[in-house]
Amino acid sequence: MGVLDWSIVVVFLIFIVGMGIYSMRFVRSVTDYLACGRVCGRYVISVADVANGLALITMIGAVEAGYKSGFVYGFWGSFALPLSLFLSLTGFVVYRFRQTKAMSFGQFVEMRYSRGMRIFE
């Protein structure tokens, strides 16, 4: 690799580290890091959820499931899309999850039901 190649890598690395150092002033606790201090709107949370759903391991898992099962995976996925859209529009479970201010679904189950119920989650 030449000087130009290394300079591109170094410039982007300095940019990323600089943004991390700059954003440290806004993060004061774990809540700020995980849930934007619990003040972010539903659109920010939904975008974060989509970004989480598009993780590389999720994509690899979906391709593997499609490879193993063929067209059946896409067939049942077409039923899951309208159902998930309906559930998200009605706020089923998500409303209570946001209301309890839980940081994870396991914590939500424990707060709402009991610690013993969390093992089934």
| 99 and 84 housed in the same domain | no
Instruction: Give the Cα separation of 105 and 94 in Å (integer).
Output: 10
pLDDT digits (tens, 9 = 90+) for 71-112: 888 888 888 888 877 877 776 777 777 777 777 777 888 888
What residues make up the domain containing 106? 91-121
Of the chain, the percentage scoring pLDDT greater than 90 comes to: 15
Residue 46 has pLDDT above 70, yes or no: no
Q: Are residues 100 and 83 in the same domain?
A: no
The answer on 54 and 31 residing in a single domain is no
pTM of the full predicted structure? 0.40
Count of structural domains within the chain: 3
Q: Is 108 exposed, middle or buried (0-12, 13-18, 19+ CB in 10 A)?
A: buried
Task: Give the residue among 121, 88, 95, 107 at the shortest CA–CA distance from 31.
Answer: 107
In which band, very low, low, confident or very high, does the pLDDT at 41 lie, cut at 50, 70 and 90?
low
Task: Judge whether residue 52 has pLDDT over 90.
Answer: no
Residues 27 and 49 in one domain: no
